Amino acid sequence: MAAIKYTSIILFVLFLSACAEVELAPRKNPRLSAATVQKIDPVSVRFAAKVYDYGTQEVVEYGFVYNDKPTPRVGDGITISRAGKPDDFFELETAHTMVPGRKYLLVAFMRTTNGITYSGIVEFVNQR
């Protein structure tokens, strides 16, 4: 009887000691997919991206940046943007001066009150 009581107590302690609490800070930034080229012709181009999550910060601007140099960023590339918060799928179209046959790098972005979030970089070649 004593042995079974001790066994029970050990098992009970093992179970309760297995509990632990971990805090995960709330993620603030939005999440968006890589941009895609929806349409490109000699004079205009249309890019698109999906929003997975808006985060906790207010979104004030969204759009795309492309460049023929590594790591396109706002201020270091051609930016197409619109003010406000986008739908969960957004696309923007603009006139372009891209050189036919040249490789370009493209990102989508969302600017919040706290910073700017870029999607992963995709490459495309202007075939026109």
Partner 1 sequence: MGKVLVFVSPMVLNRYFASLLLLILLSISSYGQDGDFVVLPSQEKVYGSMVNTFDFTNAKSVNFRNSSDQAVNQYMPSDLIAFGLDNGRYFKSIHLPEENEKVFVQVILSGEKSLYKYKKVFYIDDDGKLVKLNSSYSQSLGAESNTQRSNFKPFVNTLNLILAGDCGNSLVVTVMGAKYTENSLAEILSKYHECEGLEFINHIQEIPLVRISPMATAGLAFLNQDYYPINASKVMVFDRNSFPVFQAGVRFHQIRKLPRLAFDLSVAYMNRDNTLNYQFENSEGLTTGTQVYRSSSILVPMFVDYQLFKFGSVGTYIGLGGIVRNTSFEVDYAIVDYTLFFNSVTTVTEEQFFFNEDRDFAPAIKLGAHINQGKKVGLLSELQFDYQSKNTVRVWPYSDSTYKQFTVAFLFSIIF
Point out which span in 16-24, 35-43, 61-69, 82-90 binds partner 1 (CB under 8 A). Answer: 16-24
- Give me the least distance between CB of 97 and partner 1, in Å please: 27
Please report whether residue 95 would count as binding partner 1 according to CB under 8 A. Answer: no
What CA–CA distance (Å, rounded) separates 19 from 86? 42
76: Cβ contacts below 8 Å, ≥ 6 apart: 65, 67, 69
**Residues that contact partner 1, how many (by CB under 8 A):** 35
Q: Which is nearer to partner 1, 74 or 98 (CB)?
A: 74
> How many alpha carbons lie under 13 Å from residue 108 in its C-beta half-sphere?
24
Out of 4, 84, 97, 127, the only residue in the binding site for partner 1 (CB under 8 A) is 4
Please report whether residue 60 would count as binding partner 1 according to CB under 8 A. Answer: no
Q: Which residue is associated with the tokens 């302690």?
A: 13
Q: Which residue is associated with the tokens 């941009």?
A: 35
